[in-house]
């Protein structure tokens, strides 16, 4: 179980006909517990989908009773009709559950510009069907229903001392930082108020989902929501809860990285020796977004010159001629000059570790990314066809 691992949660995933594949495409997660505390983070893209605009309002008071999600259509740039669709979806769930529509978070994922009457009818019917089929064993179906180009569902659970945090996520492309980088629903039965949930969630996303930069493309629909039922009756220390949420988010982020569209390498870029964390992140992200570097990794080519060229475009404080670069445990560059021959590096395994030592300070950060492959280009060239 994932989102239903914590006490006080039910879920469902149904086939509403939004996908031509006939797979599940509408999910619902409901908090049946004594607390309805909630927190969320959303994309920082200025082009926000209607469900994001709606859900930002819902979470304004730190309360949410349910999260309804659909795949097969982003409902973004669909005009006033699209926002009305989002509102109608929340109302359909609210009516089915006997709650307020203003406490229903709505999430959508799929092709931008999809949101006509046919789409609306299918989403509303799916939401009602999901509400009728809720169960504590519905977490797996819900995780499947939010998939788009994902090849597998993503679920994880972390157990605390008498309490649990569970979650599900989707995302295989358009993974770039913006407070959140995909659709994620997290649940807990720990008894904590909304402000503690919010602090834990923001702290976790900052060092997990925000550090996943698969293709440098930020979505319009990104949402990560955390719900608390308080059904365990246990109030953990804020630090312990935050650590569990971070562990859970890190697990889901790694699953997202491993399922990135068409990728053949999972690349972990570790930057050490930075003046501060911001510099380390900037340097790591510059490498992660460098198309030439990503193409080299795809070809199993340890071209460390592309790493140095990428970090030289940043504003971080370091001397380019005092930098060390290692790939899969082999230091190929020392003090800005060749070290061990590049032929000593084996990049054939799927896991690739790039270590960059800026030799300028004591801060560090890690960015997760993938290589740039023929399959990635093909899949995204045909995404809307």
What is the length of the chain? 385
Pairing of strands 9-14, 26-31: antiparallel
**Catalytic one of 10, 43, 181, 373:** 181
The set of residues, in sequence order, having a beta carbon less than 8 Å from that of 242 and lying 6+ positions away, is 199, 200, 203, 204
Taking alpha carbons only, the member of 209, 178, 215 closest to residue 43 is 178
How far does CA 151 lie from the centroid of its chain?
Answer: 15
Strands ordered across the beta sheet of 330-334: 337-338, 330-334, 324-327, 351-357, 266-274, 363-370
Provide the 3-class DSSP secondary structure of residue 210: helix
The set of residues, in sequence order, having a beta carbon less than 8 Å from that of 373 and lying 6+ positions away, is 262, 263, 264, 298
Active site residue 313: no
Q: With b meaning 16 or more CB within 10 Å and e meaning fewer, what string describes 309-330? A: bbbeebebebeeeebbbbbbeb
Active site residues: 181
């Amino acid at each position: 179980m994932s989102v239903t691992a914590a006490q006080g949660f039910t879920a469902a995933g149904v086939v509403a006909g939004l996908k031509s594949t006939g797979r599940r495409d509408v999910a619902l997660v409901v908090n049946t517990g004594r607390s309805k505390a909630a927190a969320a983070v959303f994309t920082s893209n200025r082009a926000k989908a209607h469900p994001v605009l709606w859900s930002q309002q819902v979470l304004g008071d730190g309360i949410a009773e349910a999260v309804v999600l659909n795949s097969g259509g982003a409902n973004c740039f669909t005009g006033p009709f699209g926002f009305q669709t989002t509102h109608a979806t929340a109302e359909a769930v609210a009516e089915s559950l006997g709650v307020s529509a203003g406490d229903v978070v709505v999430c959508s994922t799929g092709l931008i510009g999809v949101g006509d009457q046919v789409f609306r009818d299918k989403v509303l019917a799916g939401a009602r069907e999901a509400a009728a089929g809720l169960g504590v064993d519905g977490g797996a179906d819900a995780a499947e229903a939010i998939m788009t180009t994902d090849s597998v569902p993503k679920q994880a659970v972390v157990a605390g001392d008498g309490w649990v945090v569970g979650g599900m996520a989707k995302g295989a492309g358009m993974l770039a930082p913006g407070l959140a980088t995909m659709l994620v629903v997290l649940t807990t039965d720990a008894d904590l108020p909304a402000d503690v949930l919010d602090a834990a969630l923001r702290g976790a996303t900052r060092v997990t989902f925000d550090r996943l930069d698969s293709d440098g493309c930020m979505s319009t629909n990104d949402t990560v929501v955390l719900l608390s039922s308080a059904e365990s009756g246990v109030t953990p220390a804020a630090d312990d809860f935050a650590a569990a949420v971070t562990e859970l988010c890190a697990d889901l982020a790694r699953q997202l990285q491993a399922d990135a569209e068409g990728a053949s390498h999972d690349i972990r870029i570790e930057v050490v020796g930075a003046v501060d964390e911001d510099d380390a992140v900037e340097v790591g992200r510059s490498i992660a977004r460098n198309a030439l570097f990503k193409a080299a990794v795809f070809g199993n080519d340890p071209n460390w010159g592309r790493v140095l060229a990428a970090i030289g475009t940043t504003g971080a404080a370091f001397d380019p001629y005092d930098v060390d670069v290692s790939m899969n445990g082999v230091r190929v560059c020392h003090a800005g000059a060749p070290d061990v021959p590049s032929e000593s590096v084996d990049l054939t395994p799927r896991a690739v570790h790039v270590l960059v030592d800026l030799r300028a300070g004591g801060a560090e950060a890690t960015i997760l990314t993938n290589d740039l492959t023929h399959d990635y280009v093909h899949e995204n060239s045909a995404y809307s066809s």
